Amino acid sequence: MLGGWGLGGRGRSRFCTRLGQVVLVLLLASPSPVLAEEAAAAQDAQQLDEPAVEPHIPSRNLLQVLRAGGVLMLPLVFCSFLLVVFALERFFALRCARVAPAPFVKRLLHQLAEGQLDRETARKLCSETHCAVADVFAAGLKKWGRPAVEVEQAVLDAGERAVNDLRKHLRIFNGVATLSPLLGLLGTVVGMIRSFNAIAGADAMGRPELLAGGISEALITTAAGLSLAIPALALYLFFISRVDQLTMELDERGRQLVELISAEGLQARPSGRNVKVVRQEAA
């Protein structure tokens, strides 16, 4: 028994020795936590030292943007052309120098007040001057010497025609401001339909450019419609305000003319300033 026990002790000692060798080999082969942390820190420091590469975003010119917007960009471009053309036309047409030039108005009213003009001479001056206030004056001069009610009615009728001419083409601005967002919204719907069709197709998996095309079309048309509608509405409000100012100017000048050439106004003049009127009535 003692011999067997001693043999078993030696076997156990050998087993422990071999087990220790295996554990030592495993410890040497596996990386230590400290070394792993040092390696990770060194790798992070190397990545920080390297300059960051910015992603390249391709730029587009105007023609490429219009093409990316799809077919609905064509009516938007046409609306923008109309907006520019009629905006320039209204800027020149609604100048005060073209509607009621101050030198002509002051000279005519002053000479009428001083009795230096008769009806025919005044009408000739108005016919030679091409502006809205000259047309209003010419209509009032046809009623020279009549009661103030008749002269005023003639001036009002001519003034209404002149104001209608001043408001010409303003509906185009209102139409562009209304239609442009709707066209942009329609382009948004078309672009989203394209995107959903691309998603439904088998080719869309792994190809984001198919989705980007429809989304880009949707956003471009919306932006184009709003970019066109906002200045169109601003121009419409500006020109409406300008027409209102010119309307008040024509009304004031017409009122002054009525006071000068109506029967009541002619009778209120001094006798020296009424000589031409008396001669005209005698003729």
Domain boundaries, the chain: 2-43, 69-282
- pTM of whole model > 0.85? no
Distance CA 123, CA 100 (A): 16
What pLDDT digit, counting tens, does each position of 43-97 carry? 555 554 455 445 545 566 656 666 766 788 889 999 999 999 999 999 999 998 8
**Is 188 within 8 Å of 149 (Cβ atoms)?**
no
What pLDDT digit, counting tens, does each position of 238-256 carry? 999 999 999 999 999 999 9
What was the pLDDT predicted at 79?
Answer: 93
What pLDDT digit, counting tens, does each position of 60-70 carry? 665 666 676 67
Least-confidence region, from 83-92, 157-166, 214-223, 267-276:
267-276
